[in-house]
Amino acid sequence: MKKARILVQGIVQGVGFRPNVYRLARARDLNGYVRNLGNVVEIVVEGSDDNIKRFTTDIETKKTPISKIDSVKIEWLDDDGPLKFSGFQILESSSNFSGSSVIPPDVATCDSCLGEVMKSGDRRYRYPFTACTDCGPRFTVISSIPYDRERTSMDAFPLCPDCMGEYQDPEDRRYHAEATCCPVCGPEVFLYREEKISVDNPIKEAAKLLDEGNVLAMKGIGGTHLVVNTLDDLPIINLRNKLGRMNQPFACMSPDIPTIRSFAEVANYEEKILLSNNRPIVILKKNKDYYLSPHVAPELHNLGIMLPYSALHHLLFTYTDSPAYIMTSANMPGEPMLTQNQEIISKLEGVADYYLLHNREIINRCDDSVLRFRGGDLAFIRRSRGYVPEPYDFSNINTDLNVLALGPEIDVTFSLLKEGKCYVSQHIGDTTKYETFLYLQEAIEYMMGITRTDNVDIVTCDLHPQFFTTKLAHELGERFQCPVLKVQHHHAHAAALSLDWGVEELICIAADGVGYGDDGSAWGGEILYSNRTEYERMASLMPQNMPGGDLTTRFPARMMMAMLYPYYDEDELLELMRTDYLDYFPHGLKEVDIVANQLERNFNLTGTTSTGRVLDALAAILHVCGERTYEGECAMKLESAAYSGEDSFDLPIKIVQKNGMDVLDTSRILSSVLEKKLEGEKIEDLACSAQRAVSEGLAELAIRTARKKDVNNIGGSGGVFYNEAISMTIKNVVENAGFRFLQHKNSCAGDGSVSMGQAVVAALYYNKNRNKS
């Protein structure tokens, strides 16, 4: 008889991995044990040589649905003596280990559990917290590792005899399912308004209240949603007024795919991700029969939809005929999502009419993930619930360095690199808000705790000296007595994209709203050569002036006026602003004159090469959007206008030299659009052609650079690459020129993956300097 020790790494905790190993070992007639060591699962087996080898193969080929295996290492033991074990056992987890542990993300309710919830007579009939080893909360309920019930918020709910029987039965799918419970022993849901409302079925009553037009705050798995019916205008307008979000699109939840198809287009690849156990919000195009309220996603051709991911959601839809409910994060603008009952009630007073709450603690808030497809290519807009904290593989970059990367400032995540795994946090948000900045620090401490990270070798952050994350980086550098490395924003974008594809060098089209450049100006339309460790700025959009600085990001007519200034007589330009665009200047004629004076005197102007500002100016000049009330609004509305238009015009794509660098003349594009608009051409067609001109110009800059550098890979990163038309145009131009085009596929095109890119740069920087010494 042979003996072997097998170590398995990956997402193998809390996913039914150990009971599955138990069943596989018994099927192969092996003795021994399996136990959780926190960072790995240890298996010791004895039996025939052939059975052990087949068992080792089974571990990978017959794994449980939500487990993910990174490595299986087998060590043959010398002991060939008599059997030491009688049968096969599952031992208690050991807390005596070193190294990090991979915690699984939250997983949508599985079909087996949902079947029980919907089956009359089942002991979990209509129970909203039903879960097993194949589904339910993980990341949002765990306080420390190893992942066992006593270290989760479920510890407050001792198991009843029936649940304990399942929990202790290795043949049951609820064996060591840490979130398992039932109506007898588990959490309870209740309806609240000033006090608890006594009703037999709180979920049914909540659905009734929603269908009557009320706003409901509903506490879920990783946070709280504000819920409203999507068929009536007034409740949505009411919610918008209460939140001060008059235009921002709301995400929705719909009960099933056929219902979604009744108002939105669903491609096969979109259906697949909607139905996945990650259950993200997916951005879908409205179809020709769209019948939800126009106030759900105003002036946009698309909207965000998700399917139910908890039994609570499924039950809510059993009591309504509504095709969808708005499900938007319950927080005040810029602040973290609310998770604690008293906080939910107090902070949403005057916003929510009723509260559907429960008494299970949410240890880690985790917003819904959001993604969209561009011509079939997936891109994360927000990588959070259902995916976090699953790490990225950095084993080819560095396996012995601890890096803490803090990201940018607004759309923040942080990343922790340890032992070749990079843990990118859930969505944190806008760290200029005090509560969110505190949340960032709390989330860092938590992530370091569950990965057992005691020290940090490098802290890395954005190049911008005034970011709160930059200041925090220096504080953490002092705490850990380690260096702080500042990484230029778009360099981090390029590094994240290169990791996504496993390439060492590329030409990156970095197109977004803003990133602090190494010359102190606002970049955002850059062509970079990057080999991950270093970068070189090779080309850009034409530098433009922003009169009043950040005011132009809110009022794009200022940007439009500045971009037109070199091409128009000043009196002619002033007359145009006064007659056609005066309502886009909140202070009217006086403000127009002030902006003109700033441009004439070269006073209070900030330089920028931002693609976002160019798209804003195009949206303003076409009367598509005159004020940005949420991030990306002008560009999103321009995309929607262009979606219904035709590419009818050949707008000038002129590349010139400025300061020894190729630049795309975006003022020429804008002035040509204005000329055709004044001739009476269709707005939608002009929007379509304008987007194409900017896209082709960026692509041509990148192609010229790729030829200079003899690089075959051209990639696109930054928030502009969520625009499907721009992404696909650039891709087609690049590929038609014979180059390979790369887009983010497992990471965020926007700022959500900047922290991961910072970690890439820091790790390689460390490697390079270590090799020198």
Q: Which of 18, 374, 383, 558 is catalytic?
A: 18
Q: Which two tokens stand for residue 37?
A: 């060591």
Q: Is 753 exposed, middle or buried (0-12, 13-18, 19+ CB in 10 A)?
A: buried
Q: Which of 31, 36, 229, 302 is catalytic?
A: 36
289, 194 contact by CB (below 8 A): no
A 10 A CB-CB count for 97 gives 17
Structure tokens at 448: 């370091």
Structure tokens at 424: 């990118």
CA 670 – CA 316 distance, rounded (Å): 49
Show the 3-state SS of 495-549.
HHHHHHHCCCCEEEEEEEEEEECCCCCEEEEEEEEECCCCEEEEEEECCEEEECC
Q: Which residues contact 264 (CB under 8 A, 6 or more apart)?
A: 284, 285, 286, 287, 290, 303, 305
**How many Cα atoms occupy the beta-carbon half-sphere of 760 within 13 Å?**
31
Asked if 22 and 176 touch (Cβ cutoff 8 Å), the reply is no
Is 36 designated active site? yes
Sheet hosting strand 421-424, strand order edge to edge? 392-393, 421-424, 415-418, 403-405, 458-462, 484-487
Nearest residue to 12 via CA among 120, 93, 121: 93
- Those residues whose C-beta lies under 8 Å from the C-beta of residue 202, and which sit 6 or more positions away, are 189, 190, 191, 356
- Give SS3 for 613: helix
3-class DSSP assignment, residue 252 = strand
Q: What is the DSSP string of 546-608?
A: EETTTHHHH-HHHHHHHHHGGGS-HHHHHHHHHHHSGGGSTTHHHHHHHHHHHHHHT-SEEEE
What's the CA gap between 514 and 129, in Å, rounded? 43
Alpha-carbon span 296 to 286, nearest angstrom: 11
Give the distance, in angstroms, between the CA of residue 7 and the centroid of all CA atoms in the same chain: 32
Query: What sign does the dihedral 60-270-139-313 (CA atoms) show?
Result: negative
> Cα separation of 45 and 77, whole Å?
10
Burial of 406 (0-12, 13-18, 19+ CB in 10 A): buried
Q: Which residues contact 458 (CB under 8 A, 6 or more apart)?
A: 401, 402, 403, 404, 482, 483, 484, 485, 762, 763, 765, 766
Residue in 205, 220, 209 with CA at minimum distance from that of residue 330: 220
CA 547/CA 605 separation, integer angstroms: 5
The two most distant CA atoms of the chain are separated, in Å, by 99
- At 620, is the secondary structure helix, strand, or coil? helix
- Which residues are known catalytic residues? 18, 36
